[in-house]
Amino acid sequence: MQHDRKLTKPRIVRKVKCDESKPDCNRCLSTGRRCDGYETEQSSQDDLVLYKPQTISRPPSFSILSAQESRSFQYFYEQTSSQLSGFHGCDFWSGIVLQLASEDEAIRHGVVALASLHENFGVGRVNGGDSEHFALKQYNLAIRRHMNQLESPKSQAGIECHLAACLIFISIEVTPPYQSVSDRAAYFTQIIRGHFASSLSLLKKSFGVFEELLRNRKYLQKTASHDLLKTFGSQLNRLESQAVGLVGAKAWGTPYASRIRGPPPKLPKAFSSAAEARDYFEYYANAFILGSGTSSGPANVAPMDNDIQQGDLRAQLYIFNHWSNGLDDLIGRSNNMPANERAALGVLQIERLILTTSLDVITQRTSVDLQVMWDKYTDTFAQIVNLAQSILEMVESSNDKAPTSRKPYFTLDLGLVGPLYDIARRCRDPQIRRRAIGLLYAYPRQEGMFDGVLAARVAERVVGIEEAGLGNVTSCADVPDWARLSDVHPVFDLEKKRAVLFYQRQLSALDVGRIPVQETIEWN
């Protein structure tokens, strides 16, 4: 897609009939307009400014902590907070949590538990050891202290402490299980100890609390800052995106993000950082995906799977081109930026390529499932894999880690696992898709609820099925449409070390239409 840079000319904004959804008209929201169909509460100018991250230079010290607790707290400050923040950084983990831990005992125990679990995951400690017992004890203490605060009328804990505790508890539930580093099959998209249901329940309850807070504006003005609420909202939205991707839109129900989203922010002429560019991208991408205000499609999940709903494409393209021009401007100023900022810009370039592909795909929808349509994007897929490899190498180089000493990486932020997995199963070029799988194996990453190594295993099986019996496959053209799979969906069983793989396929060139198939993948 060519990025139109002629954005300074005035344009006529047509009046859009309001659908009267609350708190904002979804039809207006999906096109980036301010709703004029009904009155809403006046927003301050601050509502149009997205939060800018802040960090603290050193962790607070606590004389009341034991030696083991102090060690875990230091590990959180030095390792866990930066990994959880992802490529773009997150002031919640690098600043807010540390500040709240100095005031709130529940937060303090939660941070210690999370750091201990994260360290176990990184060094490959097995279940049942003293470190696991310590982490569970800290987690139980955090829950107990938090429940006491909720039940006590004399509690001084603020709203921000309650929301932070919810996010910390969710993070503990999604921390990967501590298995041997050499046993890469142990990295699962399941939640630690299989507590998937409790994690989703916590997330939904957190949204409920947050939504109730937003309704009570007068109370909010006395208890929590506007910037802090924006930070919590962003974290919840990103976790919801992952949850919908795992359980499906129908099982999750109407996305909470559509109910807590504020008024559309005005795109600036230039972005000051990759994090700022990402915030605006996420806002408008979610608004577009939720455009019709229905629950028939997932929120910000797998855009390359045709899940984006048809909206006002003309307006969306205008917004996307405006954002894309801002990203190009930021990239042009990136030569002297640190490695982590350039890596974050690379992730945004991947997001742009994926969205460009998605916008092109939805304009060519047909009633026939033709998987060969993906072949036209082979060059784009190659570009994404090249970007992903350069990002991973850049991050590794900046951390001064030798390939032989790579440790699994855990973050709550999505970045590379999803795009590489999509390419491995969508791109039928044998070299490109195998490069994508190779990167997932070579750089073991768990991004939130999505695990890179297990995604690679699933993609490997997809490749094996599609290329079986075809002889020497050297290009996309060697994989006929009838041999290609669609609607691939794995369901993992943590304890039994297996996955049930659901997909659709034709069994031969003589068949008409694809049929649903399921099979079991097992590993040692």
C-alpha neighbours within 13 Å on the C-beta side of residue 82: 10
Q: In this predicted model, which residue has the larger pLDDT, 467 or 366?
A: 467
Greatest mean pLDDT among 20-24, 38-42, 146-150, 400-404: 146-150
Q: Where are the alpha helices (DSSP H) in 152-195?
A: 159-174
Helix (H) or strand (E) holding 259: helix 257-260
Residue 292 has pLDDT above 60, yes or no: no
Average pLDDT of the segment spanning 430-438: 98
What is the pairing mode between strands 409-411 and 450-451? unpaired
With a CB cutoff of 8 Å and minimum separation 6, the contacts of 78 are none
In whole angstroms, what is the distance from residue 371 CA to residue 521 CA? 23
H, E, C per residue of 122-154: HHCCCCCCHHHHHHHHHHHHHHHHHHHHHHCCC
Which tokens is 350 given? 């991947």
Asked if residue 107 has pLDDT above 90, the reply is yes
Q: Indicate the pTM of the whole model.
A: 0.75
pLDDT, tens digit (0-9, with 9 covering 90-100), for 215-242: 765 555 555 566 677 777 788 877 777 7
- Bridge partners, residue 519, by sequence: 501
Burial (0-12, 13-18, 19+ Cβ within 10 Å), 63? exposed
How far apart are the C-alpha atoms of 298 and 240, rounded to whole Å?
Answer: 10
Note the pLDDT tens digit of each residue in 76-98. Answer: 988 888 888 888 877 888 888 88
Q: Which residue has the higher pLDDT, 165 or 19?
A: 165
CB atoms within 10 A of CB 99: 16
Q: Where are the domains of the chain?
A: 1-40+264-339+360-365, 43-263, 371-524
What is the SS3 assignment for 206? helix
